[in-house]
Amino acid sequence: MKPASRKPGPQKKGRGDSARTRTAAPAPAMLAIRPRPPGTTAALVLADGTVFWGRGIGAAGLRTGEVCFNTSMTGYQEILTDPSYAGQIITFTFPHIGNVGANLEDIETTTPAARGLILRADISEPQNFRASQHLDAWLKSYDMVGIAGLDTRALTRRIRDLGAPNGTLCHAPDGVIDIEVLKRQAREWPGLEGMDLALEVTCRQTYSWDQTRWQFGKGYGTQDKPAHHVVAIDYGAKRNILRCLASSGCKVTVVPATASAADVMRHQPDGIFLSNGPGDPAATGQYAVPVIRELLATGTPLFGICLGHQMLALALGGRTTKLPRGHRGANHPVKDLATGKVEITSQNHGFVVVPESLPADVEVTHVSLFDKTNEGLRVKDKPVFSVQYHPEASPGPTDSHYLFERFVRLMETR
């Protein structure tokens, strides 16, 4: 995985998010439905009836999901293959999507779970020595539907001010698009709140992982002398998280999201990892939280990321809530409260832990400098900690790699 670039310049108000009550700016009126421009072969229709016309890219078809936006300047292939985007249609705010092409290395899962993508400009021609395929051909190979030529600034402002809407995306090469059908599908889609999507993206059987992080001139390596054994519960795990664990000297055994505590502990792990994943943590937590509580009782070191962080909080007695627009980008500043250090982080989450709901023996360790929402926690008297953001995604580029080292130290001192 290539390190993500920082976006230069000051951040504009509204880039962050908050679960706290605040005075909202007047919401913009619904965008007017303009006449269909000539030559359009795709449309995005929101649940409120707003219509965006454009040119179809990728596969032909129709997809419905939550429309979100991501502000990253690099890493579009990793974003599109991140299992945490299950159920979502991704709007890229950066215009030059496709400029490094696509390849077989920069993927986070075998089958992408994102519902579709939205671009301002047509896909750029690849200009990178690692490119093995044009992005449009790559999209078609995974049956992923997209639209280009859409006013992404207007759509992003709409999401910022009114929250992430449900939407239906249609790419029809013959130009036949029924707006009323798309509108109805967008309105009828239930939304992510209350939706368990981990079952859609988890592995179906246990497997071992030994691939290490990518290095220039060498590619991916292999961990053949592990010092520790980690069992990772796969709620939608990104491959680069597993690579980081392997690079830290760990043999990794990956088990499905529905694994029991006995299934985990029969591998005799030195540490337990709770992975990232999509959907509502409260929904996935119906079966995952009781297992996590049993694992906490064993005293085994435990580390969680993203959805794993949220479900750990639920297992400890906390609560989660849905953010109006979420955190998705590679330039989010997070403060480590213990050291005062600020990390530039990669984020992708629509739900957040409510810090006031955490019990007295759980300490908040990290906060977002965009909106002060929770970004990390630890249990004071146990070798247990988690973060909301993605330390494996390298936007800093190495600002957050210490978290894997911390996990290893906990296993060494157990």
Residues carrying an active site annotation = 306, 390, 392
Residues, the chain: 414
Nearest to 199 by CA among 280, 258, 241, 242: 258
Hey, which residues does 387 pair with through a beta bridge? 305, 376
* CB-facing half-sphere around the CA of 394: CA atoms within 13 A: 15
Angle among Cα 250, 256, 260 to the nearest 5 degrees reads 95
Contact 207, 254 (CB under 8 A): yes
Contact 392, 337 (CB under 8 A): no
In degrees rounded to 5, what are phi and psi of residue 294?
-65, -40
Nearest to 407 by CA among 243, 178, 245, 242: 245
Angstrom distance (rounded) from CA 308 to CA 235: 8
Contact 118, 97 (CB under 8 A): no
| Residue 260 token pair | 């029991």
CA quadruple 277, 280, 282, 283: dihedral sign: negative
Give 319-384 as a DSSP string. EEEEEEEEEEEEEEEEEETTT--EEEEEEEEEEEEEGGGS-TTEEEEEEETTT--EEEEEETTSSE
Angle among Cα 24, 373, 376 to the nearest 5 degrees reads 170
